[in-house]
Structure 1
Amino acid sequence: MPRTTGTSFGILTAPQQVDYADILRVWREADAIPEIEHAWLFDHLMPIGGDPAGPIHEGWTLLSALAAQTSRVRLGLLVTSNRFRPPAMLAKIATTVDIVSGGRLDFGIGVGSRPSHPLARREYDAHGLPFHETADAVRGFAEACAVIRRLWTEDEPFDFDGTHHRLTGAFANPKPVQRPHPPFVIGGRSAATLRVVAEHADVWNIPGGDLEDVVSRSALLDRYCTEIGRDPASITRSIHLPVSYDRPEDTRKAIGEAVDAGFGHVVLGLPSPYPEGVARWVAAELIG
């Protein structure tokens, strides 16, 4: 498949059921391949696929290690669960990764685990974390985006008196390398989340699968942008597509359909175990 002009391609390596050495191998290989422009992890504390008792690595800690082991590829979590960490702490963590990477962080964030996922909900009880119902979680997410942006852009301490987050004398030093701040990559599909996307996102990501639904969600985002006076074209449309090693033609078809639908940022999810030379294979077989 010829490379589509203007389309940005990346890979995602879910840090579950794999060793650090396996992920590091793939990321180092991808870092040397210009066709692969970004690389991603996800943010779960317990496996959501494969052996429920299998290994899984904490996303931001692993991302910082990979940032130090790469030099070109942009990187992030697709996406951080806002339910796991207080926003000011998350802003500090993300700033550190942006500095370690030399300004290559794409700040992926979302409301958090889908409560309907049978394996995602257990993360909260197992780690002593509260699980707020969706409506409250979305409102807290909107406040978190506002707090993080202010911490990254304001030089004087400030107070924040929200419904879900309250800070006194908040400030951040150092600031991220990227100015005014790393791009916000917000993931989600619900109408309530898309309203937050319209206000805060530079990039909007959604899982592929039902392309008709994906396109309708993109149209809804356009409407929400228009309602607040924002140009819908200012938000890059991103899609996550699973890779088939056995049937690359199916993946190529999905990529083509997504690009034709206006999604110019494509994240290719690599199933584990990762074959030798998988990043080179992605570049040759899927990107072209």
Structure 2
Amino acid sequence: MTRPVRVGVQVTNQHATYPQLRDRVAELEQLGVDLIFNWDHFFPLTGDPDGAHFEAWTMLGAIAEQTSRVEFGPLVNCSAYRNPDLQADMARTLDHISGGRFVFGTGSGWFERDFAEYGYPFGTPGSRLDALAEDLPRIRARWSALNPAPVRRIPILIGGGGERKTLRIVAEHADIWHSFADPDTYTAKLGVLRHWCDEVGRDVSEIELSTGTTVRGLGSLDRTALDRYRELGVTLYEIALDATADLAPVRDLLAWRDSVS
């Protein structure tokens, strides 16, 4: 299956005013990025741990209305924070607001402070992944029952590289697999994903491959790594930036996308 090379930018929900976040989204769409993400956390992950921070799904509603071209979604939703049927309804609503551009990025969560301060049971990595595996069929079932139905078959993005549980969930449910692994590790993980796809009877080519990119210095991307990811079949390249950060790395990544397309 041939897919275009795409660029996604995660605008972190931290250390900015809402107007700054809104303006950065507009600027990124104008620059020509293909997807815009935020993250589903309640507190900053870097810098001042008690700094300014905004909730993800509320902001996604604003992004849906504000934008006209880009796909968008959370990178990633924490399934533990919301009932799965509610998640499905929220995703379907965003899909309609945006005219069919929502990407349902989801995962099991990992940031303990989020769980502790908002009163969610933290459990273990394994128990959280088990809960995610139970939630995804309910989400798909709710999409098929909602009136009106989603505008399109909402793509599911799942992040992570756990070989025993996460990659099996990817094989069963994901349209996009996202990883932050270096190229060598990515190669090995992709082999595990192929194994799980064989186990569940799915063609691995049905899953779009996605990776986080590495910035080395202001405005400089590791192009050797990008080329290696591309040889592996990766077509979605994501970079994360605070709302006030320099956009030079994004411009560099877009230039690379255009040079290989």
Fold-level similarity (TM above 0.5): yes
The structural deviation recorded for 1:134 is 1.9
Q: What are the within-5 Å matches in structure 2 for residues 97-246 of structure 1? A: 97-113=94-110, 120-153=111-144, 155=145, 172-178=146-152, 181-191=153-163, 192-208=165-181, 210-244=182-216, 246=218
Question: Distance between the aligned counterparts of 1:211 and 1:32, measured in 2?
Answer: 30
Contact 2:158 2:178 in 1 (8 A): yes
Give the match for residue 13 of structure 1.
11
**Unaligned ranges ≥5, structure 2:** none
Whichever structure has more helix as a proportion of its residues is 2
Give the match for residue 262 of structure 1.
233
The structural deviation recorded for 1:62 is 0.6
Supply the AA of the counterpart residue of 2:56.
Answer: G
The structural deviation recorded for 1:40 is 0.7
Contact 2:40 2:75 in 1 (8 A): yes
**Unaligned ranges ≥5, structure 1:** 114-119, 156-171
State the TM-score, normalized to the length of structure 1.
0.82
The structural deviation recorded for 1:287 is 5.1
Question: Distance between the aligned counterparts of 1:277 and 1:29, measured in 2?
Answer: 13
Give the match for residue 96 of structure 1.
93
Aligned CA RMSD, in angstroms, stands at 2.1
Question: Distance between the aligned counterparts of 2:109 and 2:142, measured in 1?
Answer: 21
Supply the AA of the counterpart residue of 2:147.
Answer: N
Moved over 6 A (4+): none
C-alpha distance 242-69 of structure 1, shift in aligned 2 (>3 A): farther
Question: Distance between the aligned counterparts of 2:208 and 2:188, measured in 1?
Answer: 16
C-alpha distance 244-41 of structure 1, shift in aligned 2 (>3 A): farther
Question: Distance between the aligned counterparts of 2:200 and 2:73, measured in 1?
Answer: 28
Question: Distance between the aligned counterparts of 1:214 and 1:277, measured in 2?
Answer: 26
Question: Distance between the aligned counterparts of 1:231 and 1:38, measured in 2?
Answer: 25
